[in-house]
A and B are shown apart, each in its own frame.
Chain A
Amino acid sequence: MTKETPTAIKADQMFINFGPQHPSTHGVLRIALTVEGEVVIKGDPDVGFLHRGMEKLFEARTYSQGLILTDRLDYISATHNNLGYCLAVEKLAGIQAPLRAQYIRVLASELNRIASHLVFFGTFAVDMGAFTPFLYAFREREMIMDLFEMLCGGRLLHSYVRVGGVSADLPAGWTEKCREFLKFFKPMLKDYDTLLSGNPIFRSRTGGVGVISADRAVSWGLSGPVLRASGVNYDVRKADPYCVYAKMNFTVPLGKNGDCFDRYYCRMLEMGQSVEIAFQCLDALAGAELTPGEVMAKGVSKMLKAPAGQAYAHMEASRGDLGFFAVSDGGLNPYRMHVRGPSFINVAILQEILVGCKIADVVAILGSLDIVLGEVDR
């Protein structure tokens, strides 16, 4: 958070503070814009308004207490953060979660991915001036939140994935409810296409806007749908599989142009793939080889002590490659815990791609990156 003041601008230029209290920044992001007429000359994203010092807080807590902090990183997809943290701590302490827990983890994180992409779909449409898709998106998201409420009691902040497994097995009747939702949701994706993806106004607002070439995307370290929209085939679920993703049958949707529309449409296609993965998990969970109730590794104490060492675990969160770098000195609390937040790294490219675009496109570009400020500022 640094003061960016309009010092060196020419007479026909204007300095605009975009945010931090602007609804289309999806939180508290400030962009210091210098414009000449309608054209952006310089755009400087300014972050840190939601900084809570998470990485320091981890150092003063035990491993199991640290878990609830991760919910508050990317609060739209809490299960991904829980999972990323648990994978890192498990790697550090040498714990292996039972197979049933791993299937449940994958199932929960794919449901969460759908919920998170639905928030993107709704809010991005509102940013572009279409209000109706928002109502559809949030109706479906509500159903996923109900499913999570049945699972763990939490609707937004789940803390469902725990170090060593998950907090509880699937409750009675949950699988039927989940199947019912997935069957209802799958054809809805076609509705979304007729509602928004094919809309000529939406197409012209997003097509060819905010183009990121593949080599720039790689150099800036982008990840998730933002990277794949530029045509780079990199998905942690395929490139470095964790849990049971190696057994899952799914494709990774890729874009061609790297513009706002491709970033939008990659996420829409990803939701369809998430449904497929969720069905495969449900089928596997119904199988006889996974003992019901066996969802926690044996001998994981609440006051976990990891042996001295360092470990890095990453996973594909809904916004990209989420990594946790954990260091232990053998004590009760992590010696150091670094979070590689995909939103933080994705938002940095704004300073490059905003230059030369129109003011109205700033909202489109920012919306298409789909950042969550809780994760940017940590």
Chain B
Amino acid sequence: MTADEILAKLQASFPGLVKSEAPVKEYPTWTVPAESVRVVFERLRSKFSFDYLDVVTATDWSGPINPKGYPQSPAVAAGAAAAPSATAKDIFEVVYLVTALSTGMRLCLRCEIPRKEGASVPSLYGIFMAADWQEREVYDMFGIHFEGHPNLKRILTMETQQGYPLRKDYEHLPDKFD
């Protein structure tokens, strides 16, 4: 079964699921609405044998990073503080990559959520255990909440960490280690 056939079958139950306009290279890429993330993955796993969750990550699309506080080469620093790029949108994009080990088919699912405090998507904990730490990492770095995750707390940074480091507007505050 090709990715398009699977998409057509799923679209019958989830009309919000559509093909992405700008796909990840060489991956069939779909955009899924936040409320049906968990059910779509449940269906993908049980009906279409997508049993291996490769990656959960996110992108903050609010523009180029705030270069303050980071060592940079002069060549980059010259252009980096420029106006926000044309692609800038006020959204977080949560990215899932999933594989069916038996057929070797790979999919990329994307979920766009408004970029605000307390932004959230349903957790995949329980369907894929691989989501456990990867979702915690995304929470730690972007502050995106995963509803239904039983242990959603910071994983890589310290518990005293202020703010979410991979957000584009994050500003590094000098501390005793600088």
Chain A residues proximal to chain B, CB less than 8 Å: 1-3, 47-48, 51, 53, 55-57, 59-62, 65, 91-92, 216, 218-221, 232, 234, 239-240, 303, 308-312, 314, 321, 323, 325, 327, 329-333, 335-336, 338, 340, 344-345, 348-349, 352, 377-378
B157: chain A residues at CB < 8 Å are 1, 48, 51
Query: Is A2's CB under 8 angstroms from B159's CB?
Result: yes
Whole-angstrom CA separation of A232 from B51 in the bound complex: 12
Query: Is A314's CB under 8 angstroms from B70's CB?
Result: no
Whole-angstrom CA separation of A323 from B166 in the bound complex: 18
Contact (A60, B159) CB under 8 Å given A329-B64, A331-B79: no
Query: Is B55's CB under 8 angstroms from A60's CB?
Result: no
Query: Is B159's CB under 8 angstroms from A3's CB?
Result: yes
Among the listed stretches B1-9, B113-121, B128-136, which one makes contact with chain A, having 4 or more residues with CB under 8 Å of it? Answer: B128-136
Query: Is B27's CB under 8 angstroms from A312's CB?
Result: yes
Identify whether the interface residues of B are mostly helix, strand, loop, or mixed.
loop
Whole-angstrom CA separation of A333 from B57 in the bound complex: 19
A5 CB to closest chain B CB (Å) equals 12
A246 CB to closest chain B CB (Å) equals 13
Considering residues B25, B64, B85, B108, which has the most beta carbons from chain A within 10 angstroms of its beta carbon?
B25
Chain B stretch 34-58: residues in CB contact (< 8 A) with chain A = 51-55, 57
Contact (A48, B158) CB under 8 Å given A62-B73, A329-B85: yes
B25 CB to closest chain A CB (Å) equals 4
Interchain Cβ contacts under 8 Å between A and B, 11 examples:
A51-B157, A56-B166, A59-B65, A219-B130, A221-B53, A221-B54, A311-B26, A312-B55, A335-B87, A344-B133, A348-B130
B132: chain A residues at CB < 8 Å are 348
Whole-angstrom CA separation of A59 from B72 in the bound complex: 10
Whole-angstrom CA separation of A345 from B95 in the bound complex: 17
Query: Is B22's CB under 8 angstroms from A310's CB?
Result: yes
Q: Which of B25, B57, B67, B101 contacts A232 (CB 8 A)?
A: B101
Whole-angstrom CA separation of A266 from B23 in the bound complex: 37
B134: chain A residues at CB < 8 Å are 221, 345
Judge whether B165 is part of the interface by a CB distance below 8 angstroms. yes
Whole-angstrom CA separation of A55 from B137 in the bound complex: 12
A92: chain B residues at CB < 8 Å are 25
Provide the B142-166 mask, 1 if CB < 8 A to any CB of A, else 0. 0000000000011111110000011
Q: Which of B55, B104, B170 contacts A323 (CB 8 A)?
A: B55
Number of interface residues of B (CB under 8 A): 52
Whole-angstrom CA separation of A15 from B25 in the bound complex: 48
Query: Is B57's CB under 8 angstroms from A325's CB?
Result: yes
Query: Is B55's CB under 8 angstroms from A340's CB?
Result: yes
Q: Which residue of A lies closest to B133 (CB)?
A: A348
12 new A-B contacts at CB < 8 Å, known A2-B153, A221-B130, A327-B59? A56-B165, A59-B65, A216-B129, A218-B52, A232-B101, A325-B55, A325-B57, A338-B55, A340-B55, A348-B133, A349-B129, A378-B156
Whole-angstrom CA separation of A3 from B137 in the bound complex: 16
Considering residues A48, A352, A378, which has the most beta carbons from chain B within 10 angstroms of its beta carbon?
A48
A61 CB to closest chain B CB (Å) equals 7
Q: Which residue of B lies closest to A310 (CB)?
A: B24
A330 CB to closest chain B CB (Å) equals 7
A218: chain B residues at CB < 8 Å are 51-52, 101
Query: Is A330's CB under 8 angstroms from B166's CB?
Result: no
Contact (A219, B75) CB under 8 Å given A232-B101, A309-B22, A312-B97: no
Whole-angstrom CA separation of A92 from B25 in the bound complex: 8
Query: Is A377's CB under 8 angstroms from B55's CB?
Result: no
Q: Which residue of A lies closest to B138 (CB)?
A: A338
